[in-house]
Chains A and B, each alone.
Chain A
Amino acid sequence: MKPLFIAGLALLLLFTMTIAMVLGAVSIGWKNVLTILYDALPFSQPIPGAVIAPVYQDILLQIRVPRVLLSAAVGSSLAVAGAVFQGLFRNPMADPYVIGISSGAALGAVIAMLGGFRLAVGGFGAIPLFAFLGGIVTIMLVYSMARVGRAVPVMTLLLAGIAISAFLSALVSLLTYFAGERLHQVIFWLMGGLGGATWRQVKIMIPYALVGYICVSLFSRELNALLLGEETAKHLGVDTEKVKKILMIGASLLVAAAVSTSGIIGFVGLVVPHFIRLVAGPDHRFLLPASALLGGSLLIATDTLARVIIAPSELPVGIITALIGAPMFIYLLKKRKKLRYFGGGG
């Protein structure tokens, strides 16, 4: 049953990827898309008789393919991080941004934009670099503030996160207020989006996503135990302080990488894990891979909508994720009546 479900989600991801490559402001045609993709594979023989305009090849290989891959990586990362934070905090309201990574990243990005920094490290521009650092520094700050003696209770962590998050958001608002002619750039970044995705971004994003994912998925069993409460997890032999730290690091890497490449995209990280739990239960050994696959598909699908709905202009993808995600989620809630899989009571 469960392997089948995973296989189904993998197929769904492949399917949305293909659709997303076919659709766009410039119509390439699905046959041409497949041909170009086939030709681009290493060691493939050119298909005789197929002549495709080079501009199509460029649009597909240099614009759509990296964008689809980046969407997949960002969507997966957000969904997995959401699942981890929800489990860690035993709180269904938790999302990838709950303990302030997004505010920290936003502050970093806004500083980079307003400061007009031009530095670039390894081809990484100043904005994503500052955003990444902002997110990571925030998490470290929250973690050290929540420390009580040798332990870091999750409730304190959550509260410290909310407090710091509120503080940093205020700073971001303050800077935005004085943004002047850069206002549009700031607002646009804060809304989040995948426009202008490049192969370089994909190449940087994917290793972070992979490391983060491996980090958290190795501790799925511990996450299950933590869902029963920290004390119970300890009684079962989980070294909770160590595990919490590893999970935090893993999830923070995922979120920081996602935010720094695409800004703050809401809803994917909140809704996708809930969706999987409603259908298949709370076991993280299944929840994490399933969330990764569904999160990737969802973000590709919404991003595709965002760029075709008023083509040739684009809507910020965060608007679409919320517009589609919220009603879908409410429908599921109503259909299942009870949220007993997670804190909803009987």
Chain B
Amino acid sequence: MGLEIDVHGLKLSYDTQPVLDGTEFKVERGELVALLGANGAGKSTLLRCISRILQPTGGHILLNGRELQQFGSREAARLMAVVPQETAADFDFTVEDIIMMGRYPYLGRFQKEGQTDQEIVRRSMEMTGVSHLAERSIATLSGGEKQRVIIARAVCQQPEVLLLDEPTANLDIGYQSMLLELAARLNREHGVTVIAAIHDINLAVHHFNRFILLSGGRVLVAGRAEEVITAENIQKSYGVPASTYRHPLNGVLQVSVVRGRSPSDGLNEGPPVHVICGGEEALPVLEMLIQAGSRLSIGPVSAQDSGCRFAHFHSLPVIVVPPFTNMNGAHKREHMEMLQQAEYVIIPPIQFGEGNLPILETVEMILEEGKAVYIIGLAGIETRDYSGGKAAEALQRLVEHGAMVLESAEGLASLFCVRGEKENGA
């Protein structure tokens, strides 16, 4: 089951603009492959070459070692089914009619659709969950339903290879997952080789196990998610700074575009600000401050902390404490120095426990030296105080010594918005 596809030095140009420029890769039988790459990287063009819509000007596509162009139309359609991004369906065919068309490559010119064909249509509809739509007109279906019908037709073709060209582009998130899960099921249960061009990397990572990243009509890298989806590769192919992380629920690799900073952004012009970190709650504060152009430093966090990742991504000074250890004397001294260099110290609504109580003591010392300290969101401290009230007391002491309390992080924006002032002034 499944077919092996060998793409060898494929070339194709639209006018003089090369779209495929020596594309080369191999898909083993029964693989579940996602084609990734920026708009214009050649994903669709590549798929349209494999599905015989476009004729490459150079190179070869081999199916099980045999040149693709040597297959007859019907023979190719018995091996390969295609699910396009969208199918025109503005006429009154019933869903069953549409799916039955998948039997076309199996029927002789004078042959009527028989019992077997009916049975295959029925099974395809069951598998894709469209049986209840059988008598409906395709024109009356929603985008998601229509796409499932097209998958059903592809199933009905009983292919060895299923090509999907951005099949989820117009679907809501529910249908997106369902559709890709269907493709994955065909791969698992019937050994069908699946190649899908997908825009949404994070969606693709959930459903596929092999990835081919295209860039400028060539394969930049191919392999497992960890090998392909790296910040560096994403930058190369899509031209945007990105950061990868694990999905909090299932640990699947995810990628996210990050707003990078450039020297012209007015950074390093704002006041030096130190933020006490530890936990996700600090992130919105950090993001807001960095957008506002503050010179940030980040205070003691463990290596796995989101604040630490933020600091590394933006190359900010940070004090890193090894996981599962308390701050030692050296850390404290280092922190003190950092605090002294800052003009403002911010305490976001993070969680407190015995581990990070000493930080508040250091802040208290610096407060007495006359440094401006802002505490964000003192209300509800009891829900994030795991030190039996000690943290609440410590924060209260800070307030008594002159720390200012802001209700939410939004208040900070007006305090530190250097760039905003510049823009308003201009």
Contact = CB atoms under 8 A, between A and B. Distances in A.
Interface of A: 90, 150, 218, 221, 224-225, 227-229, 231-232, 234-239, 277, 281-283, 340-346
Given A225-B101, A283-B93, A340-B140, A237 B73 contact: yes
A65 B366 CA distance: 114
A55 B245 CA distance: 98
B227 to A, nearest CB: 32
Nearest to B86: A229
B194 interface: no
Nearest to A227: B91
A346 B97 CA distance: 19
B91 A282 contact: yes
B168 to A, nearest CB: 18
Contacts of A224: 93, 97, 101
Nearest to B137: A340
A238 B87 contact: no
Nearest to A230: B53
B77 A235 contact: yes
A60 B48 CA distance: 61
Contacts of B97: 224, 283
A232 B84 contact: yes
B51 A235 contact: yes
Q: Is the interface of B mostly helix, strand, loop or mixed?
A: mixed
Contacts of B52: 234
Contacts of B92: 277, 281-282, 340-342
Nearest to A341: B92
B404 interface: no
Among B74, B91, B98, B109, residue most surrounded by chain A Cβ atoms (within 10 Å): B91
Among B51, B72, B75, B139, residue most surrounded by chain A Cβ atoms (within 10 Å): B139
A1 to B, nearest CB: 13
Given A234-B52, A340-B137, A340-B139, A229 B87 contact: yes
A345 B87 contact: no
Q: Is the interface of A mostly helix, strand, loop or mixed?
A: loop
A159 B97 CA distance: 31
Interface in B66-91: 72-78, 80-82, 84, 87-91
Given A234-B53, A238-B104, A228 B74 contact: no
Contacts of A344: 90
B124 interface: no
A236 B87 contact: no
B156 to A, nearest CB: 10
B53 A340 contact: no
B147 interface: no
A184 B144 CA distance: 60
A195 B157 CA distance: 53
B102 interface: yes
Contacts of A229: 87-88
A268 to B, nearest CB: 22
Contact of A228 (B72, B88, B105, B140): B88
A224 B80 CA distance: 20
Contacts of A346: 139-140
Given A237-B105, A281-B93, A341-B91, 5 more contacts: A224-B97, A227-B91, A236-B157, A342-B90, A346-B140
Contacts of B157: 236
Contacts of A218: 109
Closest 6 interchain pairs by CB?
A: A237-B77, A237-B105, A341-B92, A237-B74, A235-B82, A239-B73
A238 B104 CA distance: 8
Contacts of A225: 101, 104
Interface in B32-78: 51-53, 55, 72-78
B386 to A, nearest CB: 57
A149 to B, nearest CB: 8
Contacts of A282: 91-93
A154 to B, nearest CB: 13
B73 A221 contact: no
B73 A343 contact: no
Nearest to A224: B101
10 contacts: A221-B107, A234-B51, A236-B104, A237-B74, A237-B78, A283-B93, A340-B139, A341-B139, A342-B90, A343-B91
Contacts of A150: 55
Among A237, A282, A346, residue most surrounded by chain B Cβ atoms (within 10 Å): A237
Nearest to A243: B73
Given A229-B87, A231-B84, A340-B139, A236 B93 contact: no
A336 B127 CA distance: 34
A158 B172 CA distance: 36
A235 B51 CA distance: 7
A59 B101 CA distance: 51
A234 B105 CA distance: 10
A227 B87 CA distance: 11
Contacts of B82: 232, 235
A150 B53 CA distance: 12
A342 B91 contact: yes
A236 B90 contact: no
Contact of A236 (B91, B102, B139): B102
B73 A238 contact: yes
A237 B76 contact: yes
Contacts of B101: 224-225, 228, 236
Contacts of A343: 90-91
Contacts of B107: 221
A319 B81 CA distance: 49
A221 B90 contact: no
A228 B104 contact: no
Contacts of A228: 87-89, 98, 101
